[in-house]
Amino acid sequence: MIKEGYKSGFVSIIGRPNVGKSTFLNRVVGQKIAIMSDKPQTTRNKIQGVYTEDDSQIVFIDTPGIHKPKHKLGDFMMKVAHSALKEVDIVLFMINVEEGFGRGDEFIIESLKETNTPVFLILNKIDQVLPEKLLNLITQYKDLYEFAEIVPISALQGNNVETLIAQIKKYLPSGPQYYPENQVTDHPERFIVTELIREKVLHLTREEIPHSIAVVMDSMEKREGKDTVYISATIIVERSSQKGIVIGKQGSMLKEVGQRARQDIEALLGSKVFLELWVKVQKDWRNKSSNLRDFGFDEY
């Protein structure tokens, strides 16, 4: 049963890598469900964030940054991104105003021309540029596509995010409340835990470990009579040299990854956490369909 006047719908967030999609999603739902990194192509799966108010519910779909694939994992990521253009009520096309217009944007705009869904142009990181540059960018993008709305924001600072939410609600159809009001994502906790661990590896290893890592949950349990969640997870890398980097001298890097990840996981679960991490080499896993399935990248 749909409450009178209640609106709900699905909104996908697309854009080139590293424009701030995950930062925006975390800002909207009020907690970290999508990992953040200054490296492109951090998001690999569709991550749904749920924003609920008394009169509406918006289900946001954060997608991998659209790029030219170089391996089977890249192919999977692009299928995920393109599928998010279908069967949604609104598309948010986000750009990083610091970087300005790029060739990847041309590719995205061509894809948008194939959809009848309202598309908002979201100019992110407005706190980093002068107003004159912002106006020039708006003119440039308007000449290429007829956007339903154009909204400048700063996902990191929160500038204009409430205005964007209000604009989205105007376009939503009448609909049911899909998720309970206190639920912020459809992903299980196990998935978010592995993503938080992967985020720490990306942050701490910087350029030494590119996107050749995956994190697999081995076990996650709360033992009888204990108020601690016991987690065991394995970090997958492609080469032995990468394994050495992730472990670090006398285990120092792995220990740091574990300490930082545990803080975020405890905040997520609201419980003490005992975290055990392992590192395993799986050569060229990004190009092997069986590995992709094993590591949670279901084929489209």
Give 265-285 pLDDT, tens digit per residue.
888 788 899 999 999 988 876
- Is residue 43 within 8 A of residue 192, CB to CB? The reply is no
CA 145-10-120 angle, to 5 degrees, is 20
Q: Which residues touch 289 (CB under 8 Å, ≥6 apart)?
A: 72, 299
Work out the mean pLDDT of the chain and round it to a whole number: 81
- Is residue 91 within 8 A of residue 12, CB to CB? The reply is yes
Domain edge (last residue) among 171, 197, 218 = 171
DSSP annotation of 50? E
pLDDT at 41: 46
SS3 assignment, position 219 = strand
pLDDT at 158: 92
300 inside domain: no
Tokens of 130: 């002068």
Domain edge (last residue) among 142, 171, 200 = 171
15 inside domain: yes
Q: How many domains does the chain have?
A: 2
pLDDT at 104: 80
pLDDT at 102: 81
pLDDT at 254: 94
Secondary structure E strands in 117-206: 119-124, 149-152
Please check whether residues 28 and 81 belong to one and the same domain. Answer: yes
Measure the CA–CA gap between 123 and 97, rounded to whole angstroms: 6
SS3 assignment, position 119 = strand
Helices marked H in 172-251 = 189-205, 240-247
Q: Which domain holds residue 97?
A: 7-171
pLDDT at 4: 81
Please check whether residues 138 and 195 belong to one and the same domain. Answer: no
pLDDT at 35: 63
Assign 51 a pLDDT band (cuts: 50, 70, 90): very high
Of 290 and 70, more confident = 290
Please check whether residues 30 and 156 belong to one and the same domain. Answer: yes
pLDDT in tens, 174-213: 998 888 888 888 667 787 888 888 888 888 886 656 567 8
CATH of the domain at 11: 3.40.50.300
74 inside domain: yes
Please check whether residues 229 and 105 belong to one and the same domain. Answer: no
pLDDT in tens, 52-85: 999 999 989 877 544 454 545 445 555 555 555 6
Please check whether residues 160 and 13 belong to one and the same domain. Answer: yes
- Looking at the chain, the whole-number percentage of residues with pLDDT higher than 70 is 78
Please check whether residues 121 and 194 belong to one and the same domain. Answer: no
Please check whether residues 248 and 144 belong to one and the same domain. Answer: no
Measure the CA–CA gap between 147 and 94, rounded to whole angstroms: 12
Please check whether residues 142 and 193 belong to one and the same domain. Answer: no
178-213 core/surface letters (b: 16 or more CB in 10 A; e: else) = bbeeeebbbbeeebbbbbbbbbbbbbbbeeebebbb
Average pLDDT of the segment spanning 202-228: 78
CATH of the domain at 286: 3.30.300.20
Please check whether residues 55 and 147 belong to one and the same domain. Answer: yes
